Structure 1
Amino acid sequence: MRQVIPLGTVTMTYPGPVREQPLAIELHNTLYAADGEPLDGLADERGLRAWLGAVRGRLPAQARGADPRRLADVRRLRDAVREVLHAATEQRPPRPSAVRAVNDASRRCPSSPQLGAARGGGMRAAIDHHGADATDIALGAFAVDAIDLVTGARRGALGRCGAPGCVLMFLRDHPRRAWCSPACGNRARQARHYRRTHP
């Protein structure tokens, strides 16, 4: 799905998939394929800026000013997150360098829960990120989400798309779900039908 993201006076289009998945999966999915060709949604600062705009509503408020010039840091973390998520779905230990990279990103973003008043007289909890810049807060959010995905209750719901040529991951909302999107499911069924009818 193409997303047009207004950022100030400039409108940017992120061409890659954004599927309302957890942040770590969205980061993983910035490497994707279209028409069988591998593509990188974070190939340059412009791509990172557009992608950050596409996931902006799910980032901590303090991370919304993340600096696209830190592209190399984001790409390094993406590689580590991909390794950790793949290891979880393959039920193998991740490479130690990937674990270190995820932990380092998480550690650079200290946070603490804060109690506050909610509208209507109730109480609310919020996370205060302190001692870090906006980019470190964004990196920390991706890292913490990856840690939660591979160690928490959602670990068993991690899935890799089974459609031919698709490299995306997703969080299963149904135990039998095998594709990242209905379009990939249709492609897989068409490929299976073609193989059956054209031996």
Structure 2
Amino acid sequence: MERWLALELASTIRHDGEGGVADDLATVPGTTRWIQGCGDLPAGRVPAEFAADEDLRLRIVEVRQAVRALFAKAVSPAPPSPADAHRLMPVDRATARLNAVAALEPVVPQMDWPTEGAPVTRLLSAEDDPGVRLLAALARAAIDFLSGPQRPRLHSCTAPRCVRYFVKSHGRQEWCKPSCGNRARAARHYKRQQAVAEGGSAPA
């Protein structure tokens, strides 16, 4: 299954398994764990032992708010994730936030021309602060995701209690994972049984 850094960031808000919503970025230690465990960060963004502080945590949360607001716009007119549908950042502000954060890290082109072969150009960071490099990587990943071919396949999972966004892997996919599909089908079955028990007709 393909993974995208923007989707990983958005998914730090998730169902807690007990009927509520968990936030992996709610604390500094939680944010540090997410950064260190995130396998989708570009190589060299942050050192392995990197630890967040409160200021960086808040700035990452701001980027996530912008990403989730733009995810909500991307899935419209379908409903957004219920986790934050009532408090979404305005789209123009979310767009400006991502653009501003992406611009925090200056990059410079560097050419390497081996003795045998064609020249190769790489973009190297001119930023020393790993926190700034991380923020810029998150924002740029979101910009790439939202302007790329995967955006039309982005959906909000409609299974009971799920708050995730996901990218459809095939046209008929309705839920982010099989367990959500099982839960949704069980909920539909329960509603049909309730309708029959109450003497009505079963919903379609």
After TM superposition, the score normalised by the length of structure 2 is: 0.76
C-alpha displacement of 1:27:
0.7
1:173 maps to: 169
Q: Contact 1:33/1:167 (CA < 8 Å) preserved in 2?
A: yes
- CA separation in 2, counterparts of 1:163 and 1:117? 53
Amino acid of the residue matched to residue 50 of structure 1?
A: R
Gaps of 5+ in 1: 1-18
1:8 maps to: none
Corresponding residue SS for 1:198: helix
C-alpha displacement of 1:91:
5.8
Corresponding residue SS for 1:49: helix
Match of 1:71 among 57, 80, 101: 57
Q: Contact 2:29/2:52 (CA < 8 Å) preserved in 1?
A: yes
- CA separation in 1, counterparts of 2:126 and 2:71? 27
Q: Contact 1:109/1:129 (CA < 8 Å) preserved in 2?
A: yes
1:138 maps to: 134
Q: Contact 1:111/1:128 (CA < 8 Å) preserved in 2?
A: yes
Deviations along 1:149-180, whole A, 9 cap, x unmatched? 22221111111112111111112211222211
C-alpha displacement of 1:132:
4.9
Q: Contact 1:108/1:132 (CA < 8 Å) preserved in 2?
A: no
Q: Contact 1:45/1:71 (CA < 8 Å) preserved in 2?
A: yes
Q: 1:196 to 1:53 in 2, by over 3 A?
A: same
Q: 1:180 to 1:132 in 2, by over 3 A?
A: farther
Amino acid of the residue matched to residue 46 of structure 2?
A: R
Task: Report % sequence identity.
Answer: 34
2:12 maps to: 30
- CA separation in 2, counterparts of 1:182 and 1:153? 24
- CA separation in 1, counterparts of 2:96 and 2:192? 46
State how many pairs are aligned. Answer: 179
Gaps of 5+ in 2: 79-89, 196-204
Q: Contact 1:110/1:132 (CA < 8 Å) preserved in 2?
A: no
Amino acid of the residue matched to residue 68 of structure 1?
A: A
Q: Contact 1:25/1:169 (CA < 8 Å) preserved in 2?
A: yes
Give the 5 Å matches for 1:1-199: 21-34=3-16, 35-55=18-38, 57-65=39-47, 66-69=50-53, 70-90=56-76, 95-112=91-108, 114=110, 116=112, 126-199=122-195
Q: Contact 2:11/2:164 (CA < 8 Å) preserved in 1?
A: yes
Corresponding residue SS for 2:173: coil
Q: 1:24 to 1:174 in 2, by over 3 A?
A: same
Bigger radius of gyration among the two: 2
After TM superposition, the score normalised by the length of structure 1 is: 0.78
Q: Contact 2:3/2:40 (CA < 8 Å) preserved in 1?
A: no
Q: CA RMSD in A?
A: 2.7
- CA separation in 1, counterparts of 2:152 and 2:7? 14
C-alpha displacement of 1:39:
1.2
Corresponding residue SS for 1:145: helix
Q: 1:91 to 1:131 in 2, by over 3 A?
A: farther
- CA separation in 1, counterparts of 2:7 and 2:127? 26
